């Protein structure tokens, strides 16, 4: 597939259904999924399989119905969630597990009540488990735009190493401006190895596809600095330096 191909990810059947008055029964979800596929949507997030038996059934039936689109189920960074998601999407022609965890200091401290090191380990374990079940794994950093840049880069790097094939950096709480989001996204792209390169970050939620990890190369700015004559001062590091967590 061409590197400049834009993939459409639609979460109407999962996140969209949370809008007031938009709850759908199984028949309605199947009709919406059929229309999304007819429109050419590439990835359909069909639901949150572990949320209820109804959600599990809906994801399973959408997975069986779709003939072209990738079908994904959302899951938290928990083995039970991920296994349930796989049980629902495994019937699809192209299944995907979409797992997530919060990476901002506030969410880690207040919502997760986890130390940063524990969150990094949860990313490694959850993505590894998902990849052992499914060849297509999406990982999301919830509240990415309020995350510490060093920590976010480290989290993305761990997700890639564990087997994530797609990385999602959402502005979950509507915190970022277009300019600050573009800066965050560019920083991750410049510093994290293993990515194929970004699309233009036009929206608050950006997804880009990943290949197997490749050797890290410094950004253009870093290469420009390294090519200047030495002035006796310390030069910028040639490899990423992650804060110890």
Domain ranges across the chain: 9-223
pLDDT at 223: 36
Report the alpha-carbon distance of residue 163 to residue 133 in Å, rounded.
Answer: 11
Angle of the 79-89 helix axis to the 116-133 helix axis, nearest 10: 30
Number of Cβ within a 10 Å radius of residue 218 = 17
More confident residue, 6 or 74: 74
Q: What is the pTM of this model?
A: 0.79
β-strand pairing of 205-209 with 166-170: antiparallel
Within the chain, strands assigned E span: 9-10, 43-47, 70-76, 95-102, 137-142, 166-170, 205-209
In this predicted structure, the answer to whether residue 60 has a pLDDT above a threshold of 90 is yes
Beta bridge pairs of residue 138: 98, 166
Report the alpha-carbon distance of residue 122 to residue 78 in Å, rounded.
Answer: 8
3-state secondary structure (DSSP) of residue 198: coil
In this predicted structure, the answer to whether residue 1 has a pLDDT above a threshold of 70 is no
Q: What is the DSSP code (8-state) at residue 230?
A: P
Q: What phi and psi, each to the nearest 5 degrees, are found at residue 45?
A: -85, 110
Tokens of 169: 């950096």
The answer to which of 34-38, 190-194, 195-199, 223-227 has the lowest mean pLDDT is: 223-227
What is the CATH number assigned to the segment(s) 9-223? 3.20.20.70
The per-residue pLDDT for range 2-16, each reduced to its tens digit, is 567 789 999 999 998
């Amino acid at each position: 597939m061409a590197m400049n191909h834009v993939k459409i990810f639609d979460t109407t059947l999962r996140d969209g259904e949370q809008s007031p008055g938009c709850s759908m029964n199984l028949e309605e979800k199947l009709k919406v999924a059929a229309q999304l596929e007819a429109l050419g949507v590439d990835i359909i997030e069909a639901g949150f399989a572990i949320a209820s038996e109804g959600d599990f059934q809906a994801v399973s039936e959408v997975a069986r119905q779709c003939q072209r689109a990738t079908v994904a189920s959302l899951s938290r960074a928990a083995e039970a969630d991920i296994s349930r998601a796989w049980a629902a999407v495994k019937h699809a022609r192209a299944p995907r597990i979409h797992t997530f965890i919060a990476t901002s200091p506030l969410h880690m401290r207040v919502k997760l009540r986890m130390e940063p090191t524990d969150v990094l380990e949860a990313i490694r374990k959850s993505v590894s488990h998902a990849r052992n079940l499914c060849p297509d794994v999406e990982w999301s950093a919830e509240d990415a735009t309020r995350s510490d840049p060093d920590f976010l880069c480290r989290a993305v790097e761990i997700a890639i190493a564990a087997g994530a094939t797609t990385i999602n950096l959402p502005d979950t709480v509507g915190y970022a401006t277009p300019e600050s989001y573009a800066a965050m996204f560019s920083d991750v792209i410049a510093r994290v190895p293993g990515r194929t390169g970004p699309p233009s970050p036009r929206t608050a939620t950006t997804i880009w596809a990943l290949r197997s990890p490749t050797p890290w190369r410094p950004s253009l700015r870093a290469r420009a600095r390294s090519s200047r004559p030495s002035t006796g001062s310390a030069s910028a590091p040639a490899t990423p330096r992650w804060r110890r967590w």
